[in-house]
Amino acid sequence: MLYREAGDYKTTYTEDSQTFPIKLDRIGYYSVLIIAFLVVPFVINDYWANAVLVPFLIYAIAVLGLNILVGYCGQLSLGTGGFMAVGAYACYKLMTGFPDLNIFFCVILAGFVTAAVGMLFGLPSLRIKGFYLAVATLAAQFFLVWLFNKVPWFYNYSASGQISSPERTLGGIAITGPHTEAWAKYLFCLVFVFLLAWLARNLTRGNLGRSWMAIRDMDIAAEIIGVNPLKAKLTAFGVSSFFIGVAGALFFAVYLGAAEVGEAFGIQKSFLILFMVIIGGLGSIFGSFAGAAFLVLLPVLLKNVLVGGLGWQTDIAAHLEFVIVGGLIITFLILEPHGLAQLWRIIKEKLRLWPFPH
Amino acid sequence: MKLTKLAAVAAVALTAASPALADLVFPSMSYRTGAFAAGGIPFADGYQDYFTLLNERDGGIGGEKISVPECETGYNTEKGVECYESLKGLNPLILQPLSTGITYQLIPKVTADGIPLHTMGYGRTSAANGKVFKWVFNYPGNYWDAASIMVKHALEQEGGSLEGKSIVLLYHNSAYGKEPIRTLEELSKKHGFKLTLIPVDSPGQEQKSQWLQIRREKPDYVFFWGWGVMNQVAVQEAANIRFPMDHFVGVWWSGAEPDVLPAGEGANGYKSANFTGTGKDYPIFADIQKYVVDTGKAAGDGTSLGQVQYNRGMYAAMLAAEAARKAQELSGVKAINAAQMRDGMEALQVTAARMAELGMPNFGPEVNVTCANHGGAGVGLIQQWDAGAKKWVAITDYISSDRSVIDPLIAEDSAAYAKENNITPRDCK
């Protein structure tokens, strides 16, 4: 009933291989875009931007990035926090070193710097796999955090080791700094999310994405059919780190405004983003958004319901939050080990037949 | 579909969350969970209980009721952002985040939004310069004062000279722990002691290698900048390597009951700086017992009354309430707003006589805030833990910090901040 596919014929190959082959999905996708770009900016307030939507969008970018590496190329990484820190510090150095440089390019360049660092730390992946690679990337995480703590050049010799983002504008509108309007912050992040999600989708269904997936599924077989593992693995590390670097730069410059490497980009961040990938679903663009939404929005929602709505004490609410979020993660993973994306896929299959399953 | 339903619930919950805005709002950004809760809980309880007392006994401040909405930050900057945004909508008069990391984040935001920020004895030290930091206050003392007070105490113990001595700074590897380094480096040049820096990564449950290094280097003093669970671990480790405890001195955030009790007898003689009174021997506690604890309105279970962090929370609340009173007096309005509150804070004077009147004689240093000086007097005392009697004993009078070293540093750091953020320092008469 919901999905009426009768009469929805595909007459060209392009039509047949589009991202949303079902008409209703397509309508849904375009209406989400219209709402996100044309409605939300007019109704958004500071709370919704800073506490809900901006962190969601930024985490979505990071999860997309890690999903490319873990979900599409099968290379397990625990260095996400460290790579986000690279993005953040690169953005900070660019912002303070070149005050006239447009913030948009600062973020993009920070992404490229992170891509280079990511490829460097991706080199061990040519020799080691699986858990051993996870440990090598864990080393990257600890090394990078240590580096940004140890070398004062990275934080411009400030007394406290904090980096804080100065005000930068885009076409006269503040994007970073305290005077930023909620809608500007939101739209800036949304544009990045849109562009990068589009890029990720098209990379993963093209030649490059297919070579990543071949490596993921069986690297020896992939090599025999002519996939170059060096190229595939390093591009996966590069593209993934680019996404994560952009996320780190936005996380520091637009969302937090000031950051301290150990606290903002510690090992917990690596785990958090990996959990988002796993809960959302490995190797799925939709799953990246679903996973980020689950772990960003749910705690905020619970806090508002328990403390704001029911008037409970903050400590009880905070502890219950751990219990509920943890319980839901376990429940979801037992119900559907392949994550929210697979859950959605099954629901969609059922909806296509509903209400006449036979 | 599930998500849209959740979002609908969220929207309903958010709109239902805002209470009536008639009161004077003093939010409590607390952390009752996580690795830093040992310090966060008693402080938040003291902060809240003092305002409850004012509501119950005096009917608020100048007849205006007080509300203290609480928000759990978990000492985490991301949750801090969420808390700030949700509290901002309640028209708060003053924010006290009790976290140096969150303070750094909030300084530009409160300046843009016009909300006074009071970071009592923590935060960005150079905020003491009111000419640059219009909305930020850190009276009655800051980290650089603490460092100088600790060095002065060591000087006194060594008979006036630290020439050739060595001091280790064991610190939380964050903005909080790094704050005193600048001052200690200056002081080491001035007094000729050797300074060794040993960082401990947050949260600080693992300090074996650091204490091994201390054992190897055998410093004359260990100065300690820890918070939360890190304090208990450090005191225990010091006891384990039999470091002479009276040469182990913590900052004022590293010297409370929960920090030393786990180490038992081994903690005896451990010292820390402090700027508020300890114990319950103040007339105000009778009132708190009567109006707050006995009526079941206490924020905690009542056991932390008189503890170091509880008293400090109370002192912070007292300073905020006195500033609000001053603001009411200056503006002639009872229901003051944040801008009037800021003026009140800038004109705040808390004399010894006033503290005695409030039932807190000699509870803390006198405070005298001016337009140019948001940092107050910068005095503190050294206290020592008596493990037998299970209480902190003040062993010195109030020591004033070495202004000749600190003032130029404050001027330099705040000038750098002003330049970075294009702030023209205000004229102060």
For helices B181-191 and B143-157, the axis angle rounded to 10 degrees is 30
Per-residue model confidence (pLDDT) at position A117: 97
Q: List for chain A the helix, strand, coil content (%; round to 5).
A: 75, 0, 25
Give chain A's contact residues with B (Cβ, < 8 Å). Answer: 46-47, 50-51, 55, 149, 159-162, 164, 166-167, 177-179, 255-260, 262-264, 266, 290, 293, 297-298, 300-301, 303-305, 307-309, 313-315, 317-319, 347
CA A13 to chain centre: 31
Contact state of B17 with A55 under an 8 Å Cβ cutoff? no
Domain ranges of chain B: 19-141+279-377+412-420, 143-277+380-408
For chain B, give the percent of residues with pLDDT over 70. 95
- In this structure, which topology does domain B19-141+279-377+412-420 adopt according to CATH? Rossmann fold (3.40.50)
Q: What is the mean pLDDT of residues B56-62?
A: 93
A223-234 residue pLDDT tens: 999 999 999 999
Q: For B85-244, where are the E strands, in sequence order?
A: 117-118, 136-137, 166-172, 194-200, 221-225
B143-277+380-408 CATH fold: Rossmann fold (3.40.50)
Confidence of residue A23 (pLDDT cuts 50, 70, 90): confident
Q: Picking from A8-22, A268-282, B65-79, B318-332, which range would have the lowest pLDDT averaged per residue?
A: A8-22
Averaged pLDDT for residues B66-70: 94
- Could you count the other beta carbons within 10 Å of the beta carbon of residue A173? 13
Domains B19-141+279-377+412-420 and B143-277+380-408 fall in the same CATH topology: yes
| B174–A260 CB contact, under 8 Å | yes
Is residue A165 within 8 A of residue A176, CB to CB? The reply is: yes
SS3 B361: coil
Mean pLDDT of B205-229: 94
Q: How far apart are CA B309 and CA B40, in angstroms?
A: 8
B16-27 average pLDDT score: 67
The residue of chain A nearest to residue B85, with distances taken between CA atoms, is: A47
> In Å, how far are A161, A163, A337, A338 from A152, measured between CA atoms?
7, 11, 44, 43
Contact criterion met (CB < 8 Å) for B175 and A262: no
DSSP A191-204: HHHHHHHHHHHHHH
pLDDT at B17: 44
Q: pLDDT band at residue B13, thresholds of 50, 70 and 90?
A: very low
Query: What is the band of A358 on the pLDDT scale with cuts at 50, 70, 90?
Result: low
Residue whose structure tokens are 């596919």? A5
Q: Which residue has the tokens 């005191």?
A: B235
Segment B378-393 shows an average pLDDT of: 93
Q: How far apart are CA B45 and CA B68, in angstroms?
A: 11
DSSP B221-282: EEEEE--THHHHHHHHHHHHTT--GGGEEE-TTS-SHHHHGGGGGGGTT-EEEE-S--SS-S
State how far the Cα of B34 lies from the Cα of A322, in Å rounded to an integer: 11
User: B310 with B304: CB under 8 angstroms?
Assistant: yes
Which whole number is the average pLDDT over A61-71?
96
- Using the predicted structure, report yes or no on whether residue A253 has a pLDDT greater than 50: yes
Q: What is the pLDDT of residues B190-199, one digit of tens each?
A: 999 999 999 9
Which residues of chain A have a CB within 8 Å of the CB of B85?
A: 46-47, 50-51
Please give the mean pLDDT across all residues of chain B: 91
- What are the Cα distances from residue B424, in Å, to A14, A174, B133, B374? 60, 20, 10, 17
For residue A287, the chain B residues in CB contact (below 8 A) are none
Q: Please, what is the angle between helix B403-420 and helix B143-157, to 10°?
A: 160
Judge whether residue B277 has pLDDT over 90.
no
> Is residue B18 predicted with pLDDT exceeding 50?
no
Candidate from A149, A179, A318 with C-beta closest to B74: A318
The answer on pLDDT for B11 being more than 80 is no
Residue A307 Cα, gap to closest chain B Cα (Å): 8
**Residue A22 pLDDT:** 85
| pLDDT tens per residue across span A192-212 | 999 999 999 999 999 999 999
Q: Rounded distance, CA B223 to CA B200, Å? A: 13
Q: How far is CA A206 from CA A213, A217, B302, in A?
A: 11, 16, 65
Cβ distance A273 to A62 under 8 Å?
Answer: yes
Distance CA A67, CA A283 (A): 6
Number of residues that this document lists for chain A: 358
Q: What percent of chain A has pLDDT over 70?
A: 99
Task: Express each pLDDT in B88-111 by its tens digit.
Answer: 989 999 999 999 999 999 999 999
- Only one residue has tokens 């105000």, namely B284
Q: In this complex, which of A266, A290, A301 lies closest to B9 when CB atoms are compared? A: A301
Candidates B341, B301, B349, B291; CA nearest to B50 is B291
Q: Name the closest residue on chain B to residue A322, using Cα atoms.
A: B33
A301/B30 Cβ within 8 A: no
Q: Identify the pLDDT of residue B103.
A: 93
Residue of B90, B105, B62, B54 whose CA lies nearest to A254? B105
Place A118 in a pLDDT band, splitting at 50, 70 and 90. very high
Question: Which of B16, B4, B35 shows the shortest CA–CA distance to A307?
Answer: B16
